[in-house]
Amino acid sequence: MHAGLVIYDNLQKVSGGYLYDRQLVEYLRRKGDRVSIVSIPWRNYVCHIMDNFSRPLLERLTHMPLDVLIEDELNHPSCFLLNHLLRERVMYPIVTIVHHLRSRETHPNWQKVLYHWVERHYLSSVDGFIYNSKDTQRAVEHCIGHRKASIVASPGGDRFVQTITEAEIVERAAQKGPRQILFLGNVIPRKGLHILLDALAELRTTDWALTVVGSLTMDERYARPMVRRSRGIAQSVAYTGIIDDDELARHLKTSHVLVVPSSYEGFGIAYLEGMGFGLPAIASTMGGAQEIIRHGEDGFLVEPDDSSSLAHFLRLLLHDDKRLVTMSLAAHRHYAAFPTWCETAMRIRTFLLSLLRDRHA
């Protein structure tokens, strides 16, 4: 099978969506499939709309000898018209990987109207869908009003070589010193660091330390004020920026709780990876996190922007050792119920091959 993959920039970018794409590409290549990356330069939304009128891009996609074209749904503004032009020229099916819909994020109303219109036309232009969660599937089907060939293939959480035992989880909770809170996500508004900082300010205690792992340059107009606010809350807030997997694994192994109160997540790979290290997660009720976290058992779910509830659940975990151990062990055990990256990619490959068989039947 020869697959094309349309992405912005390159596969090494740091986000859950790019990790998903990268794991799929690596698996397909291990299986002997050929994968050709079609990279579109990362610019602003209006410039991406203009990509639909790019003759070089159209010609390249037309003349590639593909069996299937896979597009990351992040690229929807560049492809919502382009796909219709491709249909007149090529025989291969077009499949999109949907991590989450931009139109479900928090934006001014006029932007949401634009994003919804463009996204709806894009979603109607493809032949099949690869969803990262059932929530994402429901959002897309609600958007376009009907169902197409699709698969829900939730991400794996096993990219780390390091593991942790239940004995180590119990020992970690018994250690003296401040409780270690981990925020794992790029410092952008959607990830909700400002909500976490509001909640920590409500605690009015210093028996915690927060480590923020993620890019500080994706949205500097947001990140810079967050760093300044952190200094006003406590001296125990550290920003690491982007770090490698080995260093991230060390943070996951020494932390006590993972908190990423995003306004919306299509799935939330960070929560699953944290569970692999026995970290109860606190996330938003919006999106796919509720398919990972069992509220009150191995984590908590809060309404978007509800810093008071977040502060309440933080108190429960930071000040009750028995609850922390119980929920940490529950998170570690629940992690085992999720697929590995290899199993996820295998299901996607099977889906793609079935699309090709049906098309040639």
Dump pLDDT digits (tens) for 92-118. 999 999 998 988 887 788 888 899 999
Q: What letter represents residue 161's amino acid?
A: V
Distance (Å, whole) CA 334 – CA 133: 17
- pLDDT(281) > 70: yes
Per the listing, tokens 């997997």 go with 245
What are residue 39's phi and psi, to 5 degrees? -95, 130
Work out the angle at residue 227's Cα, subtended by the Cα atoms of residues 175 and 250, and round it to the nearest 5 degrees: 35
Q: Give the mean pLDDT of the chain.
A: 93
Q: The tokens of 212 are what? A: 């923020």
What pLDDT was estimated at residue 361? 64
pLDDT level of residue 334 (50, 70, 90 thresholds): very high
Contacts of 340 (CB under 8 A, 6+ apart): 156, 158
What are residue 154's phi and psi, to 5 degrees? -70, 150
Q: What letter represents residue 253's amino acid?
A: K
Distance (Å, whole) CA 61 – CA 107: 32
Fold that domain 166-335 belongs to in CATH: Rossmann fold (3.40.50)
**Three-state DSSP state, 281:** strand
Distance (Å, whole) CA 126 – CA 148: 9
- pLDDT(359) > 90: no
- pLDDT(53) > 80: yes
Contacts of 315 (CB under 8 A, 6+ apart): 203
In 3D space, the residue among 265, 263, 301, 274 whose CA is nearest the CA of residue 132 turns out to be 265
What pLDDT was estimated at residue 121? 95
Same fold, 2-156+340-360 and 166-335: yes
DSSP conformation letters of 103-124: GGS---HHHHHHHHHHHHHHHT
What pLDDT was estimated at residue 258? 98
Per the listing, tokens 């690229």 go with 75
pLDDT tens, position by position, 215-253: 999 899 999 999 998 887 767 899 999 999 999 999 999
Rg (CA), the chain: 21
**Three-state DSSP state, 323:** helix
- Given the candidates 3.20.190.10, 3.30.10.20, 3.40.50.2000, 1.20.1050.10, the CATH classification of the domain at 2-156+340-360 is 3.40.50.2000
CB atoms within 10 A of CB 65: 9
Among 158-162, 278-282, 349-353, name the one with the lowest average pLDDT.
158-162
- pLDDT(57) > 70: yes
DSSP conformation letters of 120-150: HHHHTT-SEEEESSHHHHHHHHHHHSS--EE
**Three-state DSSP state, 201:** helix
Is residue 212 a contact partner of residue 187, using CB atoms and an 8 Å limit? yes
- Give domain limits for the chain: 2-156+340-360, 166-335
Give, rounded to a whole angstrom, the gap between the first and last alpha carbons of the chain: 16
